Chains A and B, each alone.
Chain A
Amino acid sequence: MRRVATLLLLCAFAQPGLGADAGALVETMKQARLSEGFEARMEVATIASNGRRALPFKLSVTGQVGKDRQRLRIRGISPDKVRGRYVAAERNAEGRIRAIAYDEQLPGNIEKTDPAARLFDSGLVLWDMFGAWWNWPQQSIEGSDKVGGRACTLMRSRTDDGASPVREVLSCVDGNAKLSLRTQLYDRRHTLLRTIAVKQTMRKESGALAAKKLAITEADRTVTEVEVYSGDEHYLVNADTYAPLDNGK
């Protein structure tokens, strides 16, 4: 089923009105991200800068996005390298992200992990999926640009938080599509860490667009292609879904 939920957390949504200021844009963006539960299954393929393709793997991402709390759980589907491996993370009201990793085969063995780390040797990063930059205090509109022939509004988000792995984010938001077509993340020395670009979109039940295909380009020119092939916009989060996260407190 192609009609799937979303890469809600991989891409930012916004609905800027004409002439809306940065604050309003950010606010609608945060609103659009809210979800009581979603699931997206995706195939991830990494291509190194020398052109070598790693064996693609499948992931399931489930999540809940509330005003104060966001939770995510990533499950490796196949092949053996990722099967049964989980990464779960939570972002609290203060903006701190706590991540754990565990394996279906080794119950009870729960380890803390770095939310800014690359997932399963790919360009996917848990930290990016939380879209934390929409909560930063410094937001400004920097003009407009075009990505893949579509016009979008350039938004700059900044933070002075020394603990944040990313200090500045430049997004190009398509107002009508409610989707950031291109997201560039910079560190404190203003070095580009990676660029997340939307290659193909699909329509959600709400009418907004979500990314169906993404390309993540890292500083060393490794490209990670992500394609959502299935999912559910109304995923039923049950007691077990985030149990290890709750137990690990």
Chain B
Amino acid sequence: MTISSPSPQAPILSTRNLSLHFDEGQTRALDGVDIEIVEGEFVAITGPSGCGKSSLLNLIGTLDIPTSGDIHFRSRPYSALGDLSLFRRENIGFIFQSFYLLPTLSALDNVLVPTIGRSGDHEERARALLTRLGLSNRLDHFPGKLSGGERQRVAIARALINDPDLILADEPTGSLDSANAAQVLDLLDCLRREKELTIIMVTHDANVSARADRVIPMRDGKVDAEVAA
């Protein structure tokens, strides 16, 4: 279900009055968010914890369902997508703060997990990706034997294995020291150019958001208009 025809400057993703409420409206994680992201853009969503930036990322990644409003991916609303898991597999790659690697699998097998159930042999591409990320000598290592930076690079390879157009990264450097954080950011930046990726990254770190093309600041479940302006 690859939704294609990327044309530069056309929005790859837009949200319309997006809201996410809990406890019958008592808690408003998101309250009417309208953003637009163009193809190939590197966007950082920032703000204090609890401002709704992770909720926004979850909704964009179809991990959660909005209370109201909709999201359009290349002009198609999510509500019309049908099988969300299929859409997620074809179009989105996730990178999490705590990596979420499976401890029972080697680095190579972890990268291959998203391909399970898909036809074809993906092992060569997985090896190539891990090599590209500087892990050629770590293919058979289990996550427990890898450093934090290595683990996040395995997670990046896993996010890229199905050739998505959109990378969603939730505090990808949050668990790393500054040297590893810088390396991961450099890698993401290079890969974006190589593979023409769009990256939406949630972070509260100003050093990280400084590398983005654009920053969307958030406060209390809304886009912080004053800072944005």
**Chains A and B touch each other in the complex, with CB atoms below 8 Å apart:** no
Q: Which residues of A contact B (CB under 8 A)?
A: none
Q: Which residues of B contact A (CB under 8 A)?
A: none
